[in-house]
Amino acid sequence: MAEATKLAGKFTFPGTEFTVHRMGYGAMQLAGPHVFGPPKDRAACVRVLQAAVDAGVDHIDTADFYGPHVVNQIIKEALHPYAKNLVIVTKVGAYRGMKGEWFQDHSKALLHSTVYDNLRNLGVDALDVVNVRGAGLDAPQAGFDFRPGIEAIAELQQQGLVKHIGISNANAEQIAAAQKIAPIVCVQNFYNLAHRADDALLDSMAAQGIAWVPFFPLGGFSPLQSGLLSEAAAEMGATPMQVAQAWLLHRSPNMLLIPGTSSTAHLAENLAAADIGLSPAVLAKLDRIYAETPVKLSTTAH
Per-residue pLDDT of the chain (302 residues; tens, 9 = 90+): 233 348 999 999 999 999 999 999 999 999 999 999 999 999 999 999 999 999 999 999 999 999 999 999 999 999 999 999 999 999 999 999 999 999 999 999 999 999 999 999 999 999 999 999 998 877 899 899 999 999 999 999 999 999 999 999 999 999 999 999 999 999 999 999 988 999 999 999 999 999 999 998 887 655 677 888 899 999 999 999 999 999 999 999 999 999 999 999 999 999 999 999 999 999 999 988 877 654 444 444 56
Distance, in Å, from the CA atom of 254 to the CA atom of 202, rounded to the nearest integer, reads 9
Residue 298 lies in a domain: no
Q: Does residue 122 sit within a domain?
A: yes
The reply to whether 54 falls in a domain is: yes
Q: Yes or no: say if 21 and 57 are a contact pair by the CB < 8 Å rule.
A: yes
Confidence at residue 41, expressed as pLDDT on a 0 to 100 scale:
97
What distance in Å separates the CA atoms of residue 175 and residue 211, rounded to the nearest whole number?
Answer: 13
Number of domains in the chain: 1
Q: What is the CATH number of the domain that holds 122?
A: 3.20.20.100
Is 194 inside a domain boundary? yes
Torsion sign across C-alpha atoms 34, 39, 41, 44 = positive
The answer to whether residue 76 sits within a structural domain is: yes
The reply to whether 3 falls in a domain is no
Residue 108 lies in a domain: yes
Q: What whole-number distance in Å separates Cα of residue 201 and Cα of residue 278?
A: 23
pLDDT score of 3: 36
Catalytic residue list contains 25: no
Catalytic residue among 66, 82, 95, 191: 66
Q: Which pLDDT belongs to residue 289?
A: 82
Residues of the domain holding 96: 9-292
- Asked, for residue 236, whether it belongs to a domain, the answer is yes
